[in-house]
Amino acid sequence: MRWKQPKEKVSGANFRGRGYFVMTVLGLCAVGLLARAVDLQVYKRNFLENEGNARFVRNVPIPAHRGPILDRFREPLAVSTPVDTVWVNPSMLASNPEQMLRLARVLNRDPAWLTRRVTSNLELQYLVLEKQLQPEDAERVRALRIPGVNLRREYRRFYPAGEVTGHVLGFTGSEDQGQEGLELAFEQVLGGEDGTKRVLQDRMGQVVDSVEIVKPPRSGEEIVTSLDLRIQYLAYRELKSAIREFQARAGSVIVVDVTTGEILAMVNQPSFNPNDRLKLDVNTYRNRAATDIFEPGSSMKPFIVATALASGKYTKTSTVDTNPGFFKVGNKTIEDHQNLGVVDLATILAKSSNVGIAHVAVTLDKAAIYNTLAGVGFGQVTPSGFPGESAGLLSHYEHWREISVATLAYGYGLSVTPLQLAQAYATIGAYGIKRPVTFRKVEGPVAGERVLPAEACRDLVHMLESVVSADGTALRAAVRGYRVAGKTGTAWKSTVGGYSQDRFRAVFAGVVPASNPRLAAVVVIDEPSNGMHQGGQVSAPVFSGILSGALRLLAVPPDDLAHVPAATLVQAASEQ
């Protein structure tokens, strides 16, 4: 028989001791957990929140909406449209090679290029793949729902009139900031200020929710310009047609409201389309009307006549002896195409006599000539505020010799911009009141500054009407139903060592209607060919085409009733 060890009898004291031990251990664990919870929730709360936020909370920019640019009648010239930029987390995208192939197809990109772009930037957390996608293309990317692929809302500038307003408006860069033209000039007003919002992201970088607006965006303000889009189109069409007809190198046109100084139109050729960023070229997008300087030729003669009338030495009936058809000053001989004999000031302008105007200029005080030219704005930047505008070249009269005065009288020895010339003719049309030219719409009349006597300018405007007559050099500048006062200019272009004998710049500048000027305009054609090169042949017809349309659009009453069809008079009377 096998012997069995008796079972140990467990006493109640032992059982209670074990229970106390277990309860003690559990109590200590609970205390430890509580202490850990307190440590995490109280003492390390900020640290943990920061660590969590670093992984799942992001501050992202809220792009400000750029202000629109409008014409004077609030027609849109430049507006911002929503676009999306595609950015990725390279490490997340690289872990899904098959997704990269899908993304490349949607972006219309080479898969090999996309793979290289992503895998060579694995150390980054933010990599831009495609900028400014159209909304429909961005939606296709969003529909892929690829981890690590994100969209950021931005805005892209759009110009409804395209190249018609390209030189004036300029364009914005990839960050929607002004780069040229009025976009740059009014950047502080148009640009606004981006905001910031805090968002919650999941582990794949997708935005789950917007937590709060940290800083609200401030949208840009709108700019109402002085431009009249209707006249802008007219100027664009007429200039482009002339450049093509005369096979010219380039050209510019400016139309200014005499009563306010507002620039109603400004165009250049060759032009460019600011909507096509891939074809931007400095040779086409610079605004020649404000940046390019040139010797104005005979279009400078009216300012010498204005000085003569203001001096008291000459009146509107004064005569000048141009015999024998040339005038020797120092070692230079100034010649006319024919001997005009004894002529009055109006004939000097109508026939564009270099001899006659040189005779007048050398009898005037140099300081008086300088004060007239500087007073109307030559040799200084206009108040327009256009970026990159040139001040031209006008040396001080203390440096002038007699030959300098004589050649200056018919437009050589100084340089101006088309914009300066337009402001100067607007000053003549305002009877000696210089109003600052502006690209902003003006409400109400502008006082301006008197720089020439009113009576001298009235006489000058009347004399300039003879230029646009059968006996003058610019009959083709005539506008049916309106009296036109203006002046041609045909200048040789300067070259190394002198002046070219076969390259010209043709100019016509004038005001209309002559009885009470409302508009001033300047037309400059650079290197016209095709058999014609004179201002009266090339630039004058452009002036006529633009101003005839502009005067009708602005409902300016005709002042040459003898040449207005009866039907036009009846229509004008009914509109008043």
User: H or E segment at 241?
Assistant: helix 229-245
Residue that is written with structure tokens 């402001």 in the block: 423
Question: Does 342 share its domain with 464?
Answer: yes
| Separation of CA 403 from chain center | 39
Query: Can you tell me the distance from the alpha carbon of 505 to that of 464, in angstroms, rounded to the nearest whole number?
Result: 21
The per-residue pLDDT for 576 is 37
Question: Does 440 share its domain with 562?
Answer: yes
Domain assignment present for 34:
no
Question: Does 219 share its domain with 241?
Answer: no
Q: Is 325 exposed, middle or buried (CB count within 10 Å of its CB: 0-12, 13-18, 19+)?
A: middle
Question: Does 193 share its domain with 246?
Answer: no
Handedness of CA 460, 555, 522, 431 (dihedral sign): positive
Domain assignment present for 54:
no
Question: Does 252 share its domain with 208?
Answer: no
Domain assignment present for 41:
no
Residue type, position 569, single letter? L
Contacts of residue 428, defined as CB under 8 A and 6 or more positions apart, other chains included, come to 302, 306, 376, 452, 457, 460, 461, 464, 511, 520
Query: Can you tell me the distance from the alpha carbon of 330 to that of 312, in angstroms, rounded to the nearest whole number?
Result: 27
| Separation of CA 31 from chain center | 73
Domain boundary among 191, 224, 257: 224
Q: How many CB atoms lie within 10 A of CB 32?
A: 10
What are the φ/ψ torsions at residue 364 (nearest 5 degrees)? Answer: -95, 155
Question: Does 240 share its domain with 344?
Answer: yes
The per-residue pLDDT for 2 is 57
Angle, alpha carbons 533-538-544 (nearest 5°):
165
Question: Does 394 share its domain with 506?
Answer: yes
The per-residue pLDDT for 37 is 74
Contact status, residue 253 vs residue 419, Cβ threshold 8 Å: no
Contact status, residue 366 vs residue 405, Cβ threshold 8 Å: yes
Question: Does 217 share its domain with 240?
Answer: no
- 3-state SS of 401-432? CHHHHHHHCCCCCCEECHHHHHHHHHHHHCCC
Our count of domains for the chain comes to 2
Domain assignment present for 387:
yes
Domain boundary among 194, 224, 254: 224
Question: Does 323 share its domain with 450?
Answer: yes
The per-residue pLDDT for 395 is 95
Q: Find the domain containing 127 and state its range.
A: 59-224
pLDDT by 10s per residue, the chain, length 576 = 455 555 555 566 676 777 777 888 888 888 878 877 776 676 666 665 555 555 556 666 677 788 999 999 999 999 988 888 888 888 888 887 788 888 888 888 888 888 888 888 888 878 888 888 888 888 888 888 888 888 888 788 999 999 999 999 999 987 788 999 999 999 999 987 777 777 665 555 555 555 567 777 788 899 999 999 999 999 999 999 999 999 999 999 999 999 999 999 999 999 999 998 777 777 788 999 999 999 999 999 999 999 999 999 999 999 999 999 999 998 899 999 999 999 999 999 999 999 999 999 999 999 999 999 999 999 999 999 999 999 999 999 999 999 999 999 999 999 999 999 999 999 999 999 999 999 999 988 888 999 999 999 999 999 999 999 999 999 999 999 999 999 999 998 887 777 888 899 999 999 999 999 999 999 999 999 988 999 999 999 999 999 999 999 999 999 987 765 554 444 444 443
In 3-state terms, what secondary structure has residue 181? helix
Domain assignment present for 11:
no
Question: Does 279 share its domain with 219?
Answer: no
- Between strands 223-224 and 69-70, the pairing is parallel
The CATH number given to whatever domain includes residue 184 is: 3.90.1310.10
Q: How many CB atoms lie within 10 A of CB 244?
A: 11
**Structure-block tokens of residue 209:** 């929710």
Domain assignment present for 138:
yes
Query: Can you tell me the distance from the alpha carbon of 89 to that of 152, in angstroms, rounded to the nearest whole number?
Result: 13
Domain assignment present for 414:
yes
Contact status, residue 414 vs residue 300, Cβ threshold 8 Å: yes
Angle, alpha carbons 85-86-92 (nearest 5°):
150
- Give the DSSP letter of residue 41: I
Query: Can you tell me the distance from the alpha carbon of 439 to that of 351, in angstroms, rounded to the nearest whole number?
Result: 35
Question: Does 206 share its domain with 246?
Answer: no
Contacts of residue 190, defined as CB under 8 A and 6 or more positions apart, other chains included, come to 66, 67, 69, 178, 183, 220, 221, 223
The residues annotated as belonging to the active site are 298
Question: Does 334 share its domain with 482?
Answer: yes
Nearest to 440 by CA among 257, 193, 220, 286: 257
Query: Can you tell me the distance from the alpha carbon of 446 to that of 422, in angstroms, rounded to the nearest whole number?
Result: 17
Query: Can you tell me the distance from the alpha carbon of 48 to that of 55, in angstroms, rounded to the nearest whole number?
Result: 11
Angle, alpha carbons 285-290-295 (nearest 5°):
115
Counting every residue, how long is the chain? 576
Q: How many CB atoms lie within 10 A of CB 407?
A: 21
Domain assignment present for 342:
yes
The per-residue pLDDT for 573 is 44
Domain boundary among 177, 197, 224: 224
The per-residue pLDDT for 392 is 95
**Structure-block tokens of residue 82:** 């929503």
The CATH number given to whatever domain includes residue 422 is: 3.40.710.10
Query: Can you tell me the distance from the alpha carbon of 443 to that of 125, in angstroms, rounded to the nearest whole number?
Result: 52
